[in-house]
Structure 1
Amino acid sequence: MTRPDFTELDRFGNSRSNRWGARITNFLLHTQEGNGTAESLAGYLNNSNNGVSYHYTVRDGIICNVVDTDYASWSVLDANSRTINLCFAGSRSAWSRQQWLAIDRDLRIAAYLAVTDARKYGFATTVITPPYRVVDGISDHRWVTDALGIGDHTDVGPNFPWDVFASYVNEYAGGAVAAPVRNAIDDKAAVSPWLGKRLTAGENTCPDKVGRWAQFERGYIYWSPASGAHPIPDTLWDKFAGLGWEAGPLGYPTTDHTVLKGPDGQNWGDVQGFQGGAIYRRYSQPAFWVHGAIRDHWNRSGFEAGPYGWPVSDEQPFDGAAFQDFEKGRIHWTPKPTLGVLAAGPLDTPLADAA
């Protein structure tokens, strides 16, 4: 993509934290609520006693690199580990649309940086505008407040020209990716019309530098050489994400999701297989991960239609063993000769061995 004209200054400081392996999922925009320049704001941020920082400050075609994007800035509380943050120096959330359009050059620069970092770290270039939703992509501080429920900031404000900014993002995100991978995901998308509109331009590279993924209106498609391309619907996505995406114990999806039907023939819930087990979700209930010997036992009993019913918890480690709760019972696993349980209530309760 063609780089917009800007001056880049390194003003790195120590107002930062380790990401501790968290995957970067979003690029966020901020206002300063003051009259600083890119350099004066960077100087303020570099004083760690102030307790705030951003990865970039931008004004009048000048970019200051304040925090290396491999580290977390101090911008959005509990969302710091998963985000990259840029502040428009001298800006205010009360600005009118006309005031924002007066810094068109800086809007272009911010869009360019967002797409560059999305390509580097493998997250979506989707521009997430109000009403917000929890997906990978590019948004602002208010997204953290409204979608993630963290903090109370509302910048960049109601008059930010999202349409103009999104057009710049789309312009810079227009590059193609390698055809073999793109074709695998495209082929799966072509036979999965329920996914809706494609939101990702091309594909994003997973942290392992092997797999690829693309986002759609109602889900994602993940691909790896070992597992092939499979869509993950939004109904199962939160559980997959909560377990660390493909880098977590689930790994990549190995099957498409299946809609399960109840005894009355009505749709009952969803299941999808992964390298490290399966996600089950009964409609109107949370999703749960079933794997290993407990999953094998449950499968032999007849899955969700058997005597145990649907899972109602993930596997729980206990005293060197593990158990998992289901609607009508509990399955225990232990490598030890014995496992003690107390019969109390509808489910037996495991008791730690005193030995």
Structure 2
Amino acid sequence: MIVPGVKYVPGRNDYSDRDGQKYGVAIHNTSNDAPASGEASYATRRTDGVSAHFYVDDREVIQSIDTKYRTGHAGSSAGNENAVSVEITGTNSKSRAWWIANVAWDDLGRVLAAVCRAYDIEPRRASVAEMKANPKVRAFYSHDDMRRAWGGTTHTDPGGNFPWDYLFASVKQAMGPATPPPVQEDDMTPEEQRDADIWPNGYGDAKTNPSITLGTFVRNVGRDTEAARKELEELRTQVAELASRPAAAVDYDQLADALLRRVIAGGANPANPTQ
């Protein structure tokens, strides 16, 4: 996957993958203060077999390798093959405050949100025990976590002060709110249940479903706010005029029902809310 909207500078050392799948996100630091552009440029000509999918600094995220390929980043076959690799400018000695101030968190969050959606990866850090038990655990891990779980390296980045909470907050914000569970019938009011029975997919043909509240009708057929406001005002005017008649001459429940049915009978076309 090439993430849309991200600068792409094709690097070297992309390796074939058995199925192109990824199961985790590996977080590294570059062990220097070079900009992401410098790292991405170096990746186009380096000959040591090392590579990463993304480079990040305080200004941008640059993609270097398509995520369907394996990169040389972990020191172990499990890490290299199963993880999307992210190199963030910095060193192990950086403070938490430095990391927070020197990473393009919003851009990184959007990129990793796309990765998480594509590969069903959970934005959380796996434990080393999980990683040992399952090299395909769908989570995030550090280079040090990979060292302790799978060996093959002495690297311990991104360091003890790296703000994982900040990283996950950025990814979760970019992913948006979780889809709420469907409302169970027992949790619905009688009015909500009636509306759900009439229009189970959100809205239907208003002319054949008159038994619905005006508010729900206006909302479901997608009428614009101004048109709905004008229609309500016209109804209020008619009701006020009729209400001025002797009370014995007016059945208000019947009146309201008749007016509502009249509006619906000549109402909006759900496919064209302006009609």
Counterparts of 1:8-23 in structure 2 under 5 Å?
A: 8-21=6-19, 23=21
Aligned Cα RMSD in Å?
2.8
Q: What residue number does 1:24 align with?
A: 22
CA–CA distance in 2 between the matches of 1:115 and 1:178?
19
State the TM-score, normalizing by the size of structure 1. Answer: 0.44
Conserved? CA contact 1:22–1:82, under 8 Å: no
Q: Sort the Cα spacing of 1:62 and 1:164 in 2 relative to 1 into closer, same or farther, 3 A.
A: closer
CA–CA distance in 2 between the matches of 1:69 and 1:41?
18
Q: Is 1:157 aligned to 2:159, yes or no?
A: yes
CA–CA distance in 1 between the matches of 2:180 and 2:120?
15
Q: Sort the Cα spacing of 1:36 and 1:123 in 2 relative to 1 into closer, same or farther, 3 A.
A: same
SS of 1:133's equivalent in the other structure is helix
How far the C-alpha of 1:8 sits from its partner, in A, is 3.3
Corresponding letter in the other structure for 2:67: T
SS of 2:40's equivalent in the other structure is helix
SS of 1:39's equivalent in the other structure is helix
Conserved? CA contact 2:17–2:70, under 8 Å: yes
Uncovered stretches (5+) of structure 1, i.e. residues with no partner? 1-6, 184-355
CA–CA distance in 1 between the matches of 2:62 and 2:20?
24
Q: What residue number does 1:133 align with?
A: 130
Conserved? CA contact 1:112–1:169, under 8 Å: yes
CA–CA distance in 2 between the matches of 1:112 and 1:139?
18
Q: What residue number does 1:82 align with?
A: 82
CA–CA distance in 2 between the matches of 1:132 and 1:108?
30
Deviations 1:72-111 (A, max 9, x none): 111113121111011113x11111112111125x233323
SS of 1:50's equivalent in the other structure is coil
CA–CA distance in 2 between the matches of 1:179 and 1:72?
36
Q: What residue number does 2:95 align with?
A: 96
Conserved? CA contact 1:15–1:52, under 8 Å: yes
Deviations 1:39-66 (A, max 9, x none): 1111211224132111111123222211
Q: Sort the Cα spacing of 1:107 and 1:147 in 2 relative to 1 into closer, same or farther, 3 A.
A: farther
Conserved? CA contact 1:29–1:139, under 8 Å: yes
State the TM-score, normalizing by the size of structure 2. Answer: 0.56
Conserved? CA contact 1:11–1:65, under 8 Å: yes
Conserved? CA contact 2:12–2:43, under 8 Å: no
Q: What residue number does 1:263 align with?
A: none
Match among 136, 144, 147 for residue 145 of structure 1: 147
Q: What residue number does 1:171 align with?
A: 173
CA–CA distance in 2 between the matches of 1:70 and 1:29?
18
- Bigger relative contact order (CA 8 A; separation at least 6): 2
Conserved? CA contact 1:125–1:173, under 8 Å: no
Match among 44, 47, 50 for residue 49 of structure 1: 47
CA–CA distance in 2 between the matches of 1:176 and 1:167?
14
Counterparts of 1:89-128 in structure 2 under 5 Å?
A: 89=89, 91-104=90-103, 106-128=104-126
SS of 1:52's equivalent in the other structure is coil
CA–CA distance in 2 between the matches of 1:178 and 1:55?
33
Instruction: Give me the identity figure in percent.
Output: 22
SS of 1:139's equivalent in the other structure is strand
Structure with higher strand content: 1
Structure with higher helix content: 2
CA–CA distance in 1 between the matches of 2:168 and 2:129?
15
Corresponding letter in the other structure for 1:39: S
CA–CA distance in 2 between the matches of 1:70 and 1:18?
8
Corresponding letter in the other structure for 2:43: L
Q: What residue number does 2:56 align with?
A: 58
Conserved? CA contact 1:30–1:155, under 8 Å: yes
Conserved? CA contact 1:17–1:73, under 8 Å: yes
Conserved? CA contact 1:25–1:124, under 8 Å: no
The number of equivalent residue pairs is 174
CA–CA distance in 2 between the matches of 1:138 and 1:49?
28
